[in-house]
Structure 1
Amino acid sequence: MTIQWFPGHMAKARRQVTEKIKLVDIVFELVDARLPLSSRNPILDEIIGEKPRIIILNKSDLADPIETKKWVAYFNNQGIAAVPIIAQEGKGMKQLMEKAKEILKPKFDRRASKGIKPRAIRAMSIGIPNVGKSTLINRFIKKNVAITGNKPGVTKAQQWLKLGKELELLDTPGILWPKFEDPDVGKKLALTGAIKDTILQLDDIAMYGLEVMKTRNPKAIAKRYQLTEEELNLETPELLMLIGERKGFRDDYTRASELIIHDIRSGKMGKYTLDIAPVSLSEGQEN
C-alpha cells in the first residue's frame, strides 16, 4: 500500500527552497541518525544539485554508534560529507563548522585571490519534520544573534540569522515533506515520531517497534518489561497485550501502544538504528 500524507503546499515549498538554495554556499541536510536513509526527502538530491552539502546525522545519542560510523563512511564514499551530532546538547557542532570550512576553503580562497572581502559562510538547513532543524537553529543562535535582511535577491519573507562572524543561516519558511512508496519507510518514520501518530494505527506502530526490538535488542526489551524468554517469544500481538497488562493497561491497547512507542523513541530500550548501511562502493569493489 502506498501511503500518501504530504500536504498541498508541497509544490510551493519546493519552489521556495529551489529559489533560495542559490543564495547559500552550502546546505546542511538534517537526517535522523536512527534512519539516515528513510529520513531523507527523496527530492532533495534534485533540488540541491551540485551545491556543497553536509549530511547531519542528528540524535546520534539514540542511534547504534557502530551503525552511525558505517553511515558516515557510506556517505563519504558517495562523495558527501557526513557529521553525527546531538543538537539538543550542542555536541558535534564544532565538528560541523570545521567540516563546512574545509569544504568551502577552495571557494573562499578563490574569492580572496580576487581581492573579495572575506565574509561569513552562508548556509541553509533543510530536512523532514522532527529531525532537529529547529533545535539546530536554536543551538546555533543561543548567543550573539542578529537578523539581517534586504540582501540582494532576498525577499522580506526570508531572514538570515547571523551567528557571530563565521556563519549566516538562512531560515526558510515552509517544510519539505517526504513521499514514500515503501510501507516500511512509513513505519520507521512513525516509530521515531517523524510523522504524526494519526497517519498509522498506534498498535501497528507499537507492534512494529516490538518486532524491531525483539530482533535488534531482545535483552533490552526483556529487561524493560521484565519478560521471561518464553514471554519474549510470544506472537507480537500477544506480547503487546501482556506488556499492557503488566503496566496496568488491561484491554487498553491504545495506552499500551503509547507506552511502548514512547519507550522506544526516548531510548529506554537502548540505542538502535532502523536503516542498515548499504555496502559501500569501495567495499563492493574489494569483494
Structure 2
Amino acid sequence: MTIQWFPGHMAKARREVSEKIKLVDIVYELVDARLPLSSRNPILDDIIGQKPRIIILNKSDLADEAQTKAWITYFANEGISAIPIVAQEGKGMNKILSTSKALLKEKFDRFKAKGVNPRAIRAMSIGIPNVGKSTLINRMVKKNIAKTGNKPGVTKGQQWLKFGKEIELLDTPGILWPKFEDPMIGKKLALTGAIKDTLLNMDDIALYGLAFFKENYAQQLEKRYALTKEEAQLEPPELLMRISEKRGFRDDYDRASEMVIYEIRSGKLGRFTLDMVPVSLTE
C-alpha cells in the first residue's frame, strides 16, 4: 500500500515558510515523540538552513520513555537541542523558553553591545499535521486561539502570537512532503494519525500496527487483549481475527481494525516508539 497526501494548501504553506524564515531568530520543529525521525519533514532542513532550532518531542507521554531519552542523546550528538513535552497537559513547556534563551544568548548579547533595545525572541513553529502544534500554541499563549483537533490539516494559515513578553511566535500549517521515499514512513504516519483516515485502508494499517507490537511490545499486546503468549505470536491477520472474536465483533474486521488503530493511537496498548534509535548510535 502506497500512502501519499500533499493538499494544495501545504504547497502554499511551504512557499510561505520559505519567505518568512528570515524574519525569525529560532525555529521550533514539533515532532511526534513516537516517531522522531518519520515525523520530521526532510524538505524543512533546506528551508531552515543554519537557523537555530529546537526539536520539540510532543506526546512524549505516549512514547517509550527509554527511546525518548535515546533520541534526545541522538539529536544532541547532531548538534540539535531536543525537548520532550506533553502539550495537552503543559508538561515541559518551561524548557522551551530557557532553551531558546540559551541558544540565542550570543545573538542578543551582540544586539546589546550595539545598543539595540531588547526585544522578544521571534520564533516559528513548524511540523507535519497532527503532531500537536495548535495545542502547543494554545498552551504557550494561554488562550484558545489556534484551532485544535485530532485530525490533520486543521491550521490553514499563518499567524503571529505572543507568548508573554519574551516570545513572538509565527504559527504555520502542518506540511507533509510530496513523496515518501520509504513506504514504511507512510504507514507509521498513518498509524499515529498524521494522514487523514479517509485516505487509508484501515485494515492494512491495523495489521501493520499489530505486526509492530507483536515484534516489539508483545507483552503490552497480550495484556490489552487478554492474549496468551502463543496467541500474541499469531500472524497479524489471524491475530486481528482473534482480537475481533475476543471483543465480540465476530467477523466485523473493519470495526476491529478501527478499534485497534484507535487504541494504539490513544495509548491504550501502552507506550511505544515506532522509530527506534539504532544501538550503534547510542553508544
> Residue 77 and residue 117 in structure 1: after superposition, are their counterparts in 2 closer, same or farther (change >3 A)?
same
Map of 2:5 onto structure 1: 5
Map of 1:225 onto structure 2: 225
Distance 1:278 1:125 in 2: 28
> Residue 243 and residue 158 in structure 1: after superposition, are their counterparts in 2 closer, same or farther (change >3 A)?
closer
Is contact 1:55–1:81 with CA below 8 Å preserved after alignment? Answer: yes
Is contact 1:74–1:279 with CA below 8 Å preserved after alignment? Answer: no
* Counterpart check, 1:177 vs 2:165: no
Q: CA shift at 1:280, angstroms? A: 6.7
Distance 1:116 1:144 in 2: 33
Q: Which amino acid aligns with 1:59?
A: K
Map of 1:20 onto structure 2: 20
> Residue 29 and residue 163 in structure 1: after superposition, are their counterparts in 2 closer, same or farther (change >3 A)?
same
Q: Which amino acid aligns with 2:180?
A: F
Q: CA shift at 1:203, angstroms? A: 0.8
Map of 1:83 onto structure 2: 83
State the percentage of identical aligned residues. 71
Distance 1:162 1:183 in 2: 39
> Residue 261 and residue 25 in structure 1: after superposition, are their counterparts in 2 closer, same or farther (change >3 A)?
same
> Residue 158 and residue 228 in structure 1: after superposition, are their counterparts in 2 closer, same or farther (change >3 A)?
closer
Distance 2:247 2:282 in 1: 48
Aligned alpha-carbon RMSD (Å): 1.9
Map of 1:163 onto structure 2: 163
Which whole-Å deviations, capped at 9, do the CAs of 1:223-247 have from their partners, x for residues lacking one?
1111112222222101101111111
- Aligned 1:146-225 pairs, distance under 5 A: 159-172=159-172, 174-178=173-177, 179-225=179-225
Map of 2:48 onto structure 1: 48
Map of 2:257 onto structure 1: 257
Is contact 1:54–1:81 with CA below 8 Å preserved after alignment? Answer: yes
Q: Which amino acid aligns with 1:99?
A: T
Is contact 1:3–1:181 with CA below 8 Å preserved after alignment? Answer: no
Q: Which amino acid aligns with 2:102?
A: E
Q: CA shift at 1:75, angstroms? A: 0.7
Q: Which runs of 5+ in 2 are unaligned?
A: 146-156
Structure number with greater Rg is 1
Map of 1:153 onto structure 2: none
Is contact 1:202–1:254 with CA below 8 Å preserved after alignment? Answer: yes
Q: CA shift at 1:200, angstroms? A: 2.7
Distance 2:227 2:277 in 1: 31
> Residue 3 and residue 220 in structure 1: after superposition, are their counterparts in 2 closer, same or farther (change >3 A)?
closer
Greater Cα shift, 136-145 or 50-59: 136-145
SS at match of 1:198: helix
Is contact 1:203–1:254 with CA below 8 Å preserved after alignment? Answer: yes
Is contact 2:126–2:171 with CA below 8 Å preserved after alignment? Answer: no
Map of 1:246 onto structure 2: 246
Is contact 1:144–1:164 with CA below 8 Å preserved after alignment? Answer: no
Q: CA shift at 1:4, angstroms? A: 2.9
Q: Which amino acid aligns with 2:35?
A: L
SS at match of 1:161: strand
Which whole-Å deviations, capped at 9, do the CAs of 1:68-123 have from their partners, x for residues lacking one?
01111111111111111111111111111110110001000100011111011111
> Residue 186 and residue 62 in structure 1: after superposition, are their counterparts in 2 closer, same or farther (change >3 A)?
same
Q: Which runs of 5+ in 1 are unaligned?
A: 146-156
- Aligned 1:84-103 pairs, distance under 5 A: 84-103=84-103
Map of 1:151 onto structure 2: none
The total of aligned residue pairs comes to: 271
Q: Which amino acid aligns with 1:177?
A: L
